[in-house]
Amino acid sequence: MTTVEKQLLASPRNLRYLLTVAILVLGLFAWSLTAVNFADVNKGGLQISFNIIKGIVNPDLDLLLNVSKQSVLYLLVQTLAIAFMGTIVGAVLSVPLAFLAASNIVPKPAAWLTRLLLIVIRTIPALVYGLMFIRVSGPGPFAGVLTIGITSVGMLAKLYVDAIEELDTRVLESMTSIGCTTFEKIRYGIFPQLLSVFLSVTIYRFDMNMREASILGLVGAGGVGAPLIFAMNSYKWNQVGSLLIGLVVLILLIELLSNKLRGKLIKG
């Protein structure tokens, strides 16, 4: 059989496979359509969306620019602080967990158990943590920090593990030949390899945490979220507008900064 014929025969089977997948996907699509009930749609929806746009275009400038404790600026700084502290807490917690989950450091069963724990930590939605931590520290930004911390652990630890498992151990051999002790090998052989990856991953997570932190206010864990929902519920769309504008600008700035820093870390 020539290769051409082989290919010709291989092709229909592939087609059948694709067809099955396509039908499956279409089926899933139809099935999930049943979840949506168009009767729910508010009759005034159009009017409201028009109001929202109007609010965003005409933001409450006073709220946006003054510097009191209720101002957008203060809330944004608080959100930023929650994201930052949360990232630090998360990074601190993640490092030991990552080493415990790295299959080249600990025995396989232990690594597997830690990974399972990480999956569970990652799957529990942030708001659940938020509601739980409010019982711990009372409502306020501190609960937000703890929430961000623990939600960061899931992803940070996972990416740290990848870095640990990709460690280049050949450099340790050369350090042995130089006459280095185990401690010196860790400090000068392993630490520099991990540092830049860990930093880059952590900065990336900080960027994501900005978004997370901005919704925590919904459960009373500080930041810009609470005033946002409050303004929405009382239909003060120009306040919503100023809060959203501030939030979007801040998040974009942080993203820009994060990309720049990570680029530097990777390229050196």
Partner 1 sequence: MIQFIDVQKTYPNGTIALQNVNLNIEQGEFVAVIGLSGAGKSTLIRCINRMHDITGGRLIVDDVEVTRLRGKQIRRFRRRIGMIFQSFNLVTRTTVIKNVLVSFVPDLPLWRKLTGLFTKEQKIKALEALDKVGILDKAYVRVDQLSGGQQQRVALARTLAQNPDIILADEPIASLDPVTSRMVMNDFKRINQEMNISVIMNIHHVEVALEYADRIIGIRKGEVVFDGESRRVTKEILEDIYGGNIEALASSPEEKLAHVR
Partner 2 sequence: MYDKLFPPKKVLLPSGKVVAEKRSRTPLVLLILVAATVLSVRFTDFSLKVLFTRIGKFFGIIGEMIPPKWDSFPALWQALVSTLQMSLLGSMIGALIALPFAVLASANIVRSKAVVAVFKIILSLLRTLPTLVTALIATFVFGLGPMAGVVAILLFTLSYVGKLLYEQIENVDMGPFEAMESIGMTRIQAFRYAIVPQVLPGYLSTSLFCFEGNVRYAAILGYVGAGGVGLLIKENIGFREYPSVGMIILALVVTVYLIETVSEHFRKKLI
Which residues contact partner 1 by CB under 8 A? Answer: 168, 170-171, 173-181, 183-184, 187-189, 192-193, 195-197, 268
- Report if residue 102 touches partner 2, rule: CB under 8 A: no
- Report if residue 34 touches partner 2, rule: CB under 8 A: yes
Q: Could you say which of partner 1, partner 2, none residue 179 binds, taking C-beta under 5 to 8 angstroms by partner kind?
A: partner 1
CB of 224 to partner 2, least distance (A): 9
Q: Which amino acid is located at 106 in the chain?
A: V
Residue 162 or 173 with smaller CB distance to partner 1? 173
Q: What single DSSP character describes residue 240?
A: H
User: Treating both helix axes as pointing N-terminal to C-terminal, what angle do 191-216 and 237-267 enclose, rounded to 10 degrees?
Assistant: 170
| 144, HSE (Cβ side, Cα atoms, 13 Å) | 30
Q: Give the CA distances from residue 140 to residues 80, 125, 145, 146, in Å, rounded to whole numbers and listed in that order.
A: 14, 19, 9, 11
Answer for the pair 216, 225: CB distance below 8 angstroms, yes or no: yes
The Cα 104–Cα 111 span in angstroms is 9
Q: What are phi and psi of 68, to 5 degrees?
A: -80, 180
Binding mask 50-69 for partner 2 (x = CB under 8 A): --x-----------------
How far is the first Cα of the chain from the last one, in angstroms, to the nearest whole number?
Answer: 54
Helix (H) or strand (E) holding 132: helix 126-137
- Report if residue 117 touches partner 2, rule: CB under 8 A: no
Instruction: Report the sign of the C-alpha dihedral through residues 245, 247, 253, 255, in that order.
Output: negative
The Cα 128–Cα 139 span in angstroms is 14
- Report if residue 41 touches partner 2, rule: CB under 8 A: yes
Q: Give the CA distances from residue 127 to residues 223, 230, 240, in Å, rounded to whole numbers and listed in that order.
A: 14, 17, 21
CB of 149 to partner 2, least distance (A): 10
Tokens of 131: 């509601």
Residue 44 or 176 with smaller CB distance to partner 2? 44
Residue 93 or 110 with smaller CB distance to partner 2? 93
Listed ranges 90-98, 139-147, 169-177, 184-192: which one lies at the site for partner 2 (CB under 8 A): 139-147
The Cα 140–Cα 137 span in angstroms is 8
Out of 8, 10, 19, 25, name the contact with partner 2 by CB under 8 A. Answer: 25
Task: Report the site for partner 2 in 228-267 (rule: CB under 8 A).
Answer: 228-229, 232, 244, 247-248, 251-252, 255
Residue 98 or 121 with smaller CB distance to partner 2? 121
Binding mask 175-214 for partner 2 (x = CB under 8 A): ------------------------------------xx-x
Sites of contact with partner 2 (CB under 8 A): 25, 28-29, 31-38, 40-42, 45-46, 48-49, 52, 77-78, 80-82, 84-85, 88, 119-120, 122-128, 131-133, 135-137, 140-142, 144-146, 211-212, 214-215, 218-219, 222, 225, 228-229, 232, 244, 247-248, 251-252, 255
